[in-house]
A = this chain, B = another copy of it.
Amino acid sequence: MYEMHFAVPMAGGVLNTINTRLDAHNIATILNHSQAKFFFVDYEFVSKAKQALQLLNNHFAPKSFPLLILIQDTNFKPKSPTTMTLFDDHHHEYEQLIQKGDPNFVPIGIQDEWDPIALNYTSGTTSSPKGVVYTHRGTFLSTLSNILTWGMGTQPVLLWTLPMFHGNGWAFTWGVAARGGTNVCLRYTTARDIFRNISDHHVTHMCCAPVVFTIILEAKESERRPIKSQVQIMAAGSPPPATLLHQIESIGFHVTHCYGLTESTGAALACEWNHEWNKLPKEEQARLKSFQGIGSLTLEDVDVKDLETMKSVKRDGKIMGEIVLRGSGLMKGYLKDKESTSKAFSNGWFRTGDVAVVHPNGYIQIKDRSKDVIISGGENISSVEVESVLYRHPRVLEAAVVAMPHPRWGESPCAFVALKKNVSEEVMVVSEDEIIAYCRENLPHYMVPKMVKFVEELPKTSTGKVQKFELREIAKALVEEKSSENSDNNVETNYKNNNVLQAVSRL
């Protein structure tokens, strides 16, 4: 995938990396929508790729079919050797293809810097994934921006704890090359492999969501190696909790906290550290570091606005508005989706969907998310996508999926479901486990709700819109209730339980 980041643009093509955690149906949808001409697949994913191609053929009947190219990674031996023969007649072997290449090939020049370089599908607010188009201009600027934000010097050694399919590794795929660095690639993000690689390759940098902090901190003694030289972490995906921040920094890491979306080609905001803050107590430092911060150098502008008036909110750390972005580093738009593209921009500003305040020092802090996205272990989950599966269940009348706090993944999906009433009593009986099993059949596993709550009716506004804010409060309370089940029944717990019951009874 790293080689593709250079080879595909040099060949005049557009790179579309695919999240390997998606299921075959998602992948078929993407292949169909992107009209991919070549499909590069690592042997580990051959069986999923085969399913996807079958779905593509059976359900979409595309005019042209992508040419399959299989990659035999030197460190990976396929579990089932039979999968290797499945495509004998239709595929190429990557290394063999490379051997046939022309060493004198001159890379295709860029005619227009606004031409696309990459396409990244994101789980947005609608059920079908949207194809975010990056331009050469945008990725160039974002690459510079990300290096600058991190203060990444020359000859870095970057450990790929962030998948390269996430917004092209926040543009560090290109960034490491720009800095004359070394890439250390990981097949599985395990504590043992992280520690081993840091030690063996003198890793200086790594990007990740805070869930990787947990993986590192949960390492067994036998898996650990001493961190001899400070490792720089760029963290994004969700704000790192203060305790995690403190713990990870105390064992030899240093965290730069950023904020971005697929649409912003890596970090749009960064919590640029003011050296003065080093004098503050550790807890206050962690609180400040959890802020999303200020705009990056290549972003034309960032603001928090009242979207009805398009006025900037007061810098008081209290009044909320939506984070909006402007600049060449942003996506060009969603592929073949004019409606979503025009919805994403208001008066030239890209709407992030994140609700935030601005502190008096200009630092932005997210308070809520107006878009229905759940961020679980750094992965975006579209609540609408999960809901659309729930709605397909024969006994579901209505469903709403919201984020609930999760100690490991940051957030996980919680489903609220109202069942149909005009069916016989017998058919009505459906358990939480059955709903979850149904979701597992129809969704990538990381998108499956971890909790399902049955309700009489979903809370709605006067105009009939589901009040997700209220559901999120309930989900949060339910989690707290659960976690306090094993603790003493003190006043605090009783109070919380009462609140939960009251909230649920209101439904």
Contact = CB atoms under 8 A, between A and B. Distances in A.
Interface string A149-178: 001011100000000000000000000001
Interface stretch (A59-67, A271-279, A428-436, A457-465): A271-279
A426 B272 CA distance: 75
Interface string A262-299: 00000000001111000000000000000000000110
Contacts of A144: 144, 148, 297-298
**Chain A at the B interface: SS class:** loop
Contacts of A154: 151, 272-273, 275
Interface string A181-222: 000000000000000000000000000000000000000000
A504 interface: no
A71 interface: no
Nearest to A150: B153
A347 to B, nearest CB: 14
A147 interface: yes
A241 to B, nearest CB: 25
Given A144-B297, A298-B144, A153 B151 contact: yes
Interface in A344-372: none
Contacts of A274: 155
Contacts of A252: none
A407 interface: no
A12 interface: no
A54 B272 CA distance: 51
Contact of A272 (B151, B180, B272, B275): B180
Given A144-B148, A148-B144, A148-B147, A155 B298 contact: no
A219 to B, nearest CB: 29
A172 to B, nearest CB: 14
A437 B301 CA distance: 56
Interface size class of A (residues with CB under 8 A): 10 to 19
A298 B272 CA distance: 23
Contacts of A178: 297
A379 to B, nearest CB: 30
A143 to B, nearest CB: 9
A147 B144 CA distance: 10
Interface in A122-161: 144, 147-148, 151, 153-155
A113 B153 CA distance: 28
A155 B298 CA distance: 18
A272 B272 CA distance: 26
Interface string A53-85: 000000000000000000000000000000000
Contacts of A273: 154
Nearest to A147: B148
A213 to B, nearest CB: 23
A152 to B, nearest CB: 9
A248 to B, nearest CB: 21
A319 to B, nearest CB: 21
Interface string A389-414: 00000000000000000000000000
Nearest to A140: B298
A489 to B, nearest CB: 50
Contacts of A147: 148
B275 A155 contact: yes
Nearest to A178: B297
Contacts of A272: 154, 180
A107 to B, nearest CB: 12
A298 B297 CA distance: 14
A148 B154 CA distance: 9
A275 B154 CA distance: 9
A155 B275 CA distance: 8
Contacts of A180: 272
Nearest to A276: B155
Contacts of A298: 144
A153 B275 CA distance: 11
A151 B180 CA distance: 13
Of A148, A178, A275, chain B has the most CB atoms within 10 Å of the CB of: A148
Given A144-B298, A151-B154, 7 more contacts: A144-B144, A144-B148, A151-B151, A154-B272, A154-B273, A155-B274, A178-B297
Interface of A: 144, 147-148, 151, 153-155, 178, 180, 272-275, 297-298
5 contacts: A147-B148, A154-B275, A155-B274, A178-B297, A180-B272
